[in-house]
Amino acid sequence: MKSRLAFFNNISSFIGTSDTNVAFIIIKIRRFKEINTTYGFKKGDEYLEYVEDKLQAVLRPDDLVGRIGDNEFAVLLPSLNNTSHALLAANKIASEFKHPVDIDGSMISPKLVMGVSAKPDHGTTFDELLHAASLALQQAEKDNEDYLLHQVTSCDLPPSLMLENEIQYALDDDEFTLFCQPKINLDDRKLYGGEALIRWNSKKYGFINTQYFIDILEGSSSLVPVTSWVLNGALRQCLRYQDTFPDFSIAVNLSPSLLTNRSIVEIVANAISIWSIDPASLVLEVTEGAMMMNPKKSLEILNEFHQLGFAVSIDDFGTGYSSLAYLKNLPADEIKIDKSFVMNMASDKKDESIVKAAVDLAHTLDLKIVAEGVEDERTLDLLSAMGCDYVQGYHIAKPMPQEELMIWMNDSEWAGNLSG
């Protein structure tokens, strides 16, 4: 059996230099562990040798075959006229492995499943074709099919490790964009600030699902540099917005693990110094759950933020586990009621009651309250009647890049008559 690394390097080099259509097939032996436990590891190894030899015999002389896992093989099919030829090859493999084989006196029935990808339809690099074939293999297993060709959909997500390795390159190549979603003051129903939201349009993978990316970023070494990028970008945009709306404030979300990292205070303070902006213009949003990871350390860091003049907002309020006693002592300025309660409050009395209780609690603790997820005028009116302070949601405006938001500021009724 060829070394997996050498085999992959060989395939990667061929795909990178080939000008012709090629296909990549991952072949998995189903229930291989049962073969080992039923017939023994010696016969299991002999069976693997049989599968590899049989693949070599079935395929063309120029096709490359290699074992890539305990029960997986890969095949590279070069010089194809079109994608349908890859499916013909997969069908031929499936047909050749339909009958039991005698392995040292034991009749073992092959059970193969295959995922197929093709260049250029599913990518132009080895990593892209490997990822696409892996997704097709997973779907074929799920659907109990012998083989499936990868189907490109907007739901495809690159493997987390692969995406994590791309983050630093994305930062260096300016693949990130900062959007901003406006917030409205319900007293006069006019713009007063916004929330900065990162977006990633990868040159390799296209638009990346934001929550998927954020979850990966949380545990990566790129968390601090990306957070610094967001802070500096948000403050730069805030200064521009303040040319028209002098009291405009910008909110930035802080990852949970940063609330146990003392360096975050210095990072935020440095960003404020770089842009020479009033610290009160920056709102730092932290979730209830993040604070509960290390309550003592989180409280120390939030106190430092407060002492430096930054506003602190408790995000996703109502979904965490913080006690009223803990909330009472938090150095916070506002809480944000989670959108899961707000979005249905116009039709669900229980949600409406929860939101009303959150508004009353916030005001009892001398905090402002923001409702996110406002999708219609009825919800807006209910929140106004409850005494909610601020709102955001698609009924007001979607998150927008800077230039689009500047146009919105000039045209929207929500942004009128606020400038000095």
* Distance (Å, whole) CA 134 – CA 24: 10
3-state secondary structure of 24: strand
Mean pLDDT of 382-387: 96
Tell me how far apart the alpha carbons of residues 180 and 250 are, in angstroms, rounded to a whole number.
8
CATH number of 4-149: 3.30.70.270
pLDDT for 150:
85
User: Which range among 69-73, 152-156, 218-222, 225-229 shows the weakest confidence by mean pLDDT?
Assistant: 152-156
Mean pLDDT in residue range 12-26: 79
Selected residue with higher pLDDT from 393 and 3: 393
Query: Is the pLDDT higher at 151 or at 225?
Result: 225
| Lowest-confidence segment of 11-15, 165-169, 339-343 by average pLDDT | 11-15
Return the pLDDT at 287. 83
Label residue 218 by pLDDT band (50, 70, 90): confident
Structural tokens at position 30: 């189903």
Task: Give percent above pLDDT 90 in the chain.
Answer: 38
pLDDT of res. 141: 85
How many Å separate Cα 53 from the centre of its chain? 41
- Name the strand (E) or helix (H) holding 178: strand 176-185
Q: Note the pLDDT of residue 325.
A: 64
Are 257 and 223 contacting, i.e. CB atoms less than 8 angstroms apart? yes
Confidence (pLDDT) at 272: 96
pLDDT tens digits along 163-176? 888 898 999 999 99
Cα-atom radius of gyration of the chain, to the nearest Å?
Answer: 28
Average pLDDT, whole number, for the chain? 86
Q: b/e map of 336-350 (b: 16 or more CB within 10 Å)?
A: bbbbebbbbbbeeee
Q: Give pLDDT tens digits for 64-93.
A: 898 888 888 999 998 776 777 788 888 889
Q: What is the pLDDT of residue 27?
A: 93
Q: Could you tell me if 245 and 191 are in contact, meaning their C-beta atoms sit under 8 angstroms apart?
A: yes
Where does 160-415 sit in CATH, by number? Answer: 3.20.20.450
Residue type, 413: E
pLDDT tens track for 289-322: 777 777 888 889 999 999 999 999 988 776 555 5
Give the model's pLDDT for residue 417.
42
How many angstroms separate the CA atoms of 342 and 383, rounded? 9
pLDDT of residue 1: 43
Give the model's pLDDT for residue 78: 87
Q: Which residue shows structure tokens 């990667």?
A: 12
Determine the pLDDT at residue 261: 85
More confident residue, 360 or 35: 360
**Within 10 Å of residue 154's Cβ, how many Cβ atoms?**
7
Which of left, alpha, beta for 155 (phi over 0: left; psi -120 to 50: alpha)? Answer: alpha
Q: Residue written as tokens 């790129």? A: 222
Q: How confident is the model at residue 269 (pLDDT cuts 50, 70, 90)?
A: very high
Are residues 370 and 337 in contact, defined by beta-carbon separation less than 8 angstroms?
yes
Residue 414 pLDDT > 70: yes
pLDDT of residue 372: 92
Q: What is the pLDDT of residue 152?
A: 58
Domain boundaries, the chain: 4-149, 160-415
CB count within 10 Å of CB 68 equals 19
pLDDT given at position 232:
97
Given pLDDT bands bounded at 50, 70 and 90, which one contains residue 16?
low
d(CA 55, CA 141): 20
Contacts 24+ apart (CB under 8 A), 159-164: 159/131, 159/134, 160/212, 160/215, 160/216, 162/127, 162/131, 163/205, 163/208, 163/212, 163/213, 163/216, 164/216, 164/217, 164/220, 164/222
pLDDT attached to residue 113 = 92
Give the type of residue at 56.
Answer: Q
Contact 320, 295 (CB under 8 A): no
Give the Cβ contact number of residue 368 at 10 Å. 17
Say how far residue 30 (Cα) sits from the centre of its chain. Answer: 31
C-alpha distance from residue 262 to each of 94, 250, 300, 315 (Å): 58, 22, 9, 20
How far is C-alpha 316 from the geometric centre of its chain's CA atoms?
A: 18
| Whole-number pLDDT of residue 209 | 76
Q: What is the pLDDT of residue 419?
A: 39
Structure token pair of residue 100: 């039991």
